[in-house]
Amino acid sequence: MEIPKTYDPRQAEEQHYARWERAGCFAPEANRDESAPVYSIVIPPPNVTGSLHMGHALQHTIMDVLARYHRMRGKRTLWVIGTDHAGISTQIVVERELKKEGLSRHDLGREKFIERVWEWKQRSGGRITEQMRREGASVDWSRERFTMDDDLSRAVREFFVRCHDEGLIYRGERLINWCPKDQTALSDLEVDKETQKGQLWHLQYPVKGSDERRVTVATTRPETMLGDTAVAVNPDDERYQDLIGATLMLPLTGREIPIVADAAVDPAFGTGAVKVTPAHDPTDYEIGERHNLPQIVVIDKHARMTEAAGAEFAGLDRYEAREKVVQKFEELGLLERVADYEGAVSRCDRCRTVIEPLISLQWFCKQRELAEKGLELIRERHEPHFVPEVPWEKVYTDWLEGLHDWTLSRQLWWGHRIPAWYDEEGNVYVARSEEDARVAAGADKLTQDPDVLDTWFSSALWPISTLGWPEETSADLKTFYPTDVLVTAREIIFLWVSRMVMTGTKFIGPLPFRDVVITGLVLDKHGKKMSKSKPSDAVDPMDVFEKYGVDATRITLASSPASTGTDSRWRDEQVESYRNFANKIWNAARFCLMNSEGAQVGKGFEGDPSGWALHDRWIMSELNRTAREVSRAVEGYQFHEAVYSLYHFFWDDFCDWYIELTKQDVTASEPTPARDAARSRVVTVLETALRLLHPFMPFITEELWQRLPGVGADSLHPAYRGMEPTVMLTEYPRADESLIDERAESEMRAVIELVSRVRNIRTELNVKPSEEVRLIISAGGDGLGRVFDASLPQIKRLVRASEVSFKESMADAPRASARAALAGGAELAVPFEGLIDFGQETARLGKEIEKLSKELERLEAQLANPQFVERAPAEKVEELRQRSEDIRQRIVALEQMLEALKG
């Protein structure tokens, strides 16, 4: 059979995904067992404008490992795929495209513009989903969704109307975050607070009716003073007691404003007197509400000063106005001082423009009521279960406890239009359709609200809308809701996770997911966040796929601490080592296939295990132990532990030991039943290992599995009978506890130690690899002696010994021997006439004795401690006793060896 020496991932990647997709392997319908349990995941829908980054690759790997694992366990598995219309992002992308043609969206008009966006989506929107095919993601394409699909839009309107009818959604004039660049309102979660160095200006406002007296206010935004309608002080502040109720002359405007007392003012900060601009600051807005202060809008939606700011300032940019205000105060002698100050600035998280708080008429959602059920569940039942639980359960709970109303409306064109219509008098009719609104209004001429909804409004419905809600009879909703797990990043716990909880509990009942896995970040090699906007050594997953292969990338990500929630750096060396692992798998399989004549998967391990050779009992024990460990790890979302087990089993146990131990039998030139059996065993272990590895490395495992002798339609999990043979629909190996054999493992450890010690001696004495040695073993007739005897052919081969002899004791071994004492009382000698440097050998043994003596000393000290013996568990004490006994024995043996050296 012609198999190249080096694995080339490309060919397997190109071939198998298309085949799986064509054969319908990804759909839950592949499973013919109607009574099979269900497993479902919905993907956090990537933005339709997006392209794959490492964060996606990480999350998708985890979701795919879970989906493939549970699918192989025979569950009816659904992984829902789709994309998000991503309101602002998408609108910006298309506007940018228009700009190249010298057009703005206003040139096109709303309808044409939206057509243009759909066109763009048709043309370029599939990029990220194409990339997901490359990743190997086993999502069900037949159920692919887009948040602007008709049925999902219907769900959005249903959600809006029902909440409006219950008073949870309302329209009102409130202070909101406004992005002057994107020209839209934003929710609190779409705003980043950033500390920034700036100044604190101390401005003096003269007191009316007094020539000298002034009140000094401190502000980071002097330009807003043009809209001041009061100055507030703390009611208990002694400095200002006599001024409460007094009137100030607001400079530059000639307006008179009152001094009010409000507990929100911190007397310790600044001067203890706060200028109040209700129209442009959230705190001031609340103070204004409490004291019935007028709101004077001095900054407009473009962050320019309005007419109300005064003729001198009208039209100026907010920062120009700031300078001018400061300058004027200085000229008037009313600028007391300027202090350096580090304060928080809010920025639009999309375009980084400084947010302008503005009073504006918008739609809001009362989240507090919606969150009640979710709060109850997390507090009383710790549901959903966050992984890792610390710190996310607390972060999530704290957030739900401190909810503010959610600003829903966006002044954009791309998105779900708000289902509200107005008649000519301005009355509002919220309805599921324009027709319903007309009926409600009793009028024909209605105008729909021009605004659209926050993108996250439709995302909040994702787990239920993709499964068919509000169609209560939807089979998918009944079958696949609630989902099993949500895998996502911490940034969207509030934006998305909490809101899905609200909609799921409100409209369906149960939480939309049982577990929430929060991944860590994949940072660049310097520990910086990979970012497109900020400088970083961001790594493109597609490049990594190209260079190292998809499987190597996936298993690297699964092994990364980021898969279990800890941020960690991306390192090419890591993926390189897993690329090497893929190649190791390839070559192990290559060896098996080159020697596969007469072999058959599933054979070779017949009869009672007690009749098997030690290495066969041992490898089955390790294999089943690995299967147990991997299942435990995957089910507990400890992916790096699963990878560690698989890597260690495959490379160390299977390749380095089992194949080497069995090689002679497998490569025997005579085609005997014994050879066939040995070949079958090695291929059986390989096949099981490939199934264990498949969720992590789908392509190479499929590529190799297809070539194994004796696999086919019958190899599939019973639930998938009738499907095309593929490793992805076989049964995920279940640990057979009866094959986990502690004794075989311990005996094999002894053989490994023996071999390792002889190799160590060979290396230390510079024996050429090609040169054969003689080996003398003393291990008693029972126990270890029998074990070594039974494995003699293997031992001879592995240490390159021409001859191995068993002796009662080492006493009559040649003086010129290198010696070692093993655990369990075994001793060995390797005679080297003329090669032994007695001084060197004495030193080597001396060093060994010293090392063991130190350990013995420590153990004995512990055993001599009556409190330890009394209080520690008896088995622990016994364990230490045995260990110290073994070490003592070895020291005695080594000392005798030293004696023997003296001759």
**Shortest spacing between CB 674 and RNA, in angstroms:** 18
Q: Which is nearer to RNA, 154 or 569 (CB)?
A: 569
140 and 82 Cβ atoms separated by less than 8 Å: no
**Shortest spacing between CB 393 and RNA, in angstroms:** 11
**Shortest spacing between CB 698 and RNA, in angstroms:** 18
**Shortest spacing between CB 791 and RNA, in angstroms:** 16
469 and 509 Cβ atoms separated by less than 8 Å: no
Q: Which is nearer to RNA, 313 or 586 (CB)?
A: 586
How far is Cα 758 from Cα 830, in angstroms, rounded to an integer? 8
Q: Which is nearer to RNA, 523 or 719 (CB)?
A: 523
Q: Which is nearer to RNA, 142 or 531 (CB)?
A: 531
DSSP 8-class letter at 495: I
Q: Which is nearer to RNA, 438 or 883 (CB)?
A: 883
**Shortest spacing between CB 759 and RNA, in angstroms:** 4
Helix ranges, 264-366 (H): 282-291, 318-332
Q: Which is nearer to RNA, 283 or 448 (CB)?
A: 283
CA-wise closest residue to 717 among 33, 139, 78, 140: 33
Amino acid letter for position 194: E
DSSP 8-class letter at 512: S
CA-wise closest residue to 825 among 753, 740, 770, 900: 753
Helix H, strand E, coil C: the string for 761-820 is HHHHCCCCCCCCEEEEEECCCCCHHHHHHHCHHHHHHHHCEEEEEECCCHHHCCCCEEEE
180: preceding bond cis by omega (within 30 degrees): no
Q: Which is nearer to RNA, 89 or 587 (CB)?
A: 587
Q: Which is nearer to RNA, 284 or 383 (CB)?
A: 284
**Shortest spacing between CB 869 and RNA, in angstroms:** 8
In 269-396, the DSSP E strands lie at 273-276, 335-348, 356-365, 385-387
CA-wise closest residue to 710 among 733, 744, 679: 679
How far is Cα 721 from Cα 574, in angstroms, rounded to an integer? 39
DSSP percent split of the chain into helix, strand, coil, nearest 5: 50, 20, 30
Q: Which is nearer to RNA, 7 or 457 (CB)?
A: 7
Alpha carbon dihedral 860, 861, 865, 869, in 10-degree steps, equals -30
Q: Which is nearer to RNA, 575 or 729 (CB)?
A: 575
**Shortest spacing between CB 719 and RNA, in angstroms:** 32
**Shortest spacing between CB 355 and RNA, in angstroms:** 12
**Shortest spacing between CB 652 and RNA, in angstroms:** 8
Q: Which is nearer to RNA, 307 or 764 (CB)?
A: 764
**Shortest spacing between CB 847 and RNA, in angstroms:** 9
How many CB atoms are closer than 10 A to CB 447?
11
**Shortest spacing between CB 420 and RNA, in angstroms:** 28
How far is Cα 577 from Cα 666, in angstroms, rounded to an integer? 29
Q: Which is nearer to RNA, 293 or 723 (CB)?
A: 293
**Shortest spacing between CB 246 and RNA, in angstroms:** 18
How far is Cα 202 from Cα 339, in angstroms, rounded to an integer? 8
Question: Token pair of 642, please?
Answer: 């699963």
Show Cβ contacts of residue 608 under 8 Å, excluding neighbours closer than 6 positions. Answer: none
**Shortest spacing between CB 345 and RNA, in angstroms:** 9
Mapped onto helix, strand or coil, the DSSP state of residue 93 is helix
Q: Which is nearer to RNA, 51 or 756 (CB)?
A: 756
Mapped onto helix, strand or coil, the DSSP state of residue 102 is coil
How far is Cα 141 from Cα 816, in angstroms, rounded to an integer? 72
Q: How far does Cα 713 stand from its chain's mean position?
A: 35
**Alpha-carbon dihedral sign for residues 289, 295, 298, 303:** positive
Q: Which is nearer to RNA, 398 or 899 (CB)?
A: 398
**Shortest spacing between CB 875 and RNA, in angstroms:** 9
Q: Which is nearer to RNA, 296 or 477 (CB)?
A: 296
**Shortest spacing between CB 581 and RNA, in angstroms:** 7
**Shortest spacing between CB 714 and RNA, in angstroms:** 28
DSSP 8-class letter at 355: P
Q: What DSSP line would sit under 657-708, residue for residue?
A: IIIHHHHHHHT-SS--HHHHHHHHHHHHHHHHHHHHHTTT-HHHHHHHHTTS
Q: Which is nearer to RNA, 7 or 159 (CB)?
A: 7
Give the phi and the psi of residue 820 in degrees, each rounded to 5. Answer: -155, 150
Show Cβ contacts of residue 343 under 8 Å, excluding neighbours closer than 6 positions. Answer: 195, 196, 198, 200, 220
| H-run or E-run covering 465 | helix 462-465
Q: Which is nearer to RNA, 735 or 872 (CB)?
A: 872
Q: Which is nearer to RNA, 155 or 682 (CB)?
A: 682
Beta bridge partner(s), residue 201: 219, 338
**Shortest spacing between CB 266 and RNA, in angstroms:** 3
Total residue count of the chain as it appears in this document: 903
**Shortest spacing between CB 182 and RNA, in angstroms:** 20
How far is Cα 309 from Cα 227, in angstroms, rounded to an integer? 7
807 and 777 Cβ atoms separated by less than 8 Å: yes
Helix ranges, 24-149 (H): 54-72, 87-100, 105-108, 110-124, 127-135
